[in-house]
Amino acid sequence: MSAKGEINIFFLKKFRKFILGFVKQRRHFVVVTGGGTTARAYQKAARKIARLSHEDMDWLGIHATRINAHLLRTIFRDKAYPTILDDPHKPVKTTRPIIIAAGWRPGWSTDYIAVLLAKRFKVKQIIDAGNIPFVFTKDHKKYKNAKPIKSITWQKYQKLIDSSWTPGMPAPIDPIAAKEARRSNINAVIIDGKNLKNFRKVLLEQRYVGTFIGNGQTRLRLASAKASADRQDYGEAKKVEIF
């Protein structure tokens, strides 16, 4: 949803075509939706009326992710698993190439859900296709001298952001997800999700514009890995992409 409160139908049409093009190549996708503008609108309204706890803020955000997830599941209806995955540990038995996941519990963002699903499906890299094109040296919305970072280790990334989670914090990957990704040796690629041309380069393992985060490895072009675990309940995917 845009800042004007409108759903970007034009982009969603392009996004649908984009994903289905890769589905034809036997790619499988797990799409983890964020709350975005919808979550921020509800949180802002509630804060103007009453004092909210972080848990209250999180639940508003979680339910926003779920309505966004239902929208995506609907537009991918024939190709998507028919149930929103609102718990990353729920069994999934499907041969459909797309799974749509959403928020689970308070205490972290959907970044953490993406990392947990990457562990589950044995995927070594997630794609954060949000509205931030890079990791920056500081908050680029506040500081004009913030510089984009092309490659960074999880250890250094964790020093750039707060160590504790607060709803709506301005970090491409939240601290809970970063900690788990570092521990589990899962990489992340940060890109502008609306730039589908650049997104395509990530999926095709070509040079892309964005930030790579990992445990000291060199910057990778690879944005996916062959699925090994859970193949028994998720078909014979050629590749699984999580973003």
Query: What would the two tokens of residue 198 be?
Result: 């650049």
Tens-level pLDDT at each residue, the chain (243 residues): 655 668 999 999 999 999 999 999 999 999 999 999 999 999 999 999 999 999 999 999 999 999 999 999 999 999 999 999 999 999 998 999 999 999 999 999 999 999 999 999 999 999 999 888 999 998 888 888 999 999 999 999 999 999 888 887 888 999 999 999 999 999 999 999 999 999 999 999 999 999 999 997 555 443 333 333 333 344 334 455 667
The identity of residue 187, as a single letter, is: N
The distance in angstroms from the start CA to the end CA of the chain is 18
Using an 8 Å Cβ cutoff, are 102 and 85 in contact? yes
Residue type, 26: R
Identify the pLDDT of residue 1. 60
pTM of the model: 0.88
For the chain, the structural domain boundaries read 25-242
- Residue 36, exposed/middle/buried by CB under 10 A (0-12, 13-18, 19+)? middle
For domain 25-242, say whether CATH 3.20.20.70 is its number: no
